[in-house]
């Protein structure tokens, strides 16, 4: 069975966008008949958010970018990557 994997990000202008939309094949093990595992994300290096970031804001006002969104007052983003 395939599972859909959708990765989101932001354009340099800050607009939310889809970075990729793919299907992941299941991995079956003879040891556990009927079970499937899906490797959705992995790597040998630290994951990076798929956009250019908000470098100027962070440089001039350290920490503020983590709490505010310029186009959405009262909304906020974090410097984490959510795996759901």
Instruction: Using alpha carbons, select from 75, 77, 73 the residue that is nearest to residue 65.
Output: 77
pLDDT value, residue 3? 92
pLDDT in tens, 56-76: 667 777 776 666 666 765 566
The pTM of this model reads 0.47
The residues, ordered by sequence, that sit 6+ positions from 37 with a Cβ below 8 Å of its Cβ are 26, 27, 29
pLDDT value, residue 42? 74
pLDDT in tens, 5-47: 998 888 888 888 888 999 999 999 888 888 898 888 777 777 6
pLDDT value, residue 9? 84
DSSP conformation class of 56: H
pLDDT value, residue 76? 62
């Amino acid at each position: 069975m395939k599972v859909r994997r959708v990765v989101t990000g932001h354009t340099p202008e800050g607009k939310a966008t889809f970075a990729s939309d793919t299907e992941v094949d299941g991995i079956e093990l003879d040891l556990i008949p009927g079970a499937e595992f899906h490797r959705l994300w992995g790597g040998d290096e630290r994951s990076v958010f798929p956009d250019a970031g908000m470098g100027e804001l962070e440089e001039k006002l350290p920490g503020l970018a983590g709490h505010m969104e310029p186009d959405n007052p009262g909304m906020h983003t974090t410097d984490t990557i959510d795996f759901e």
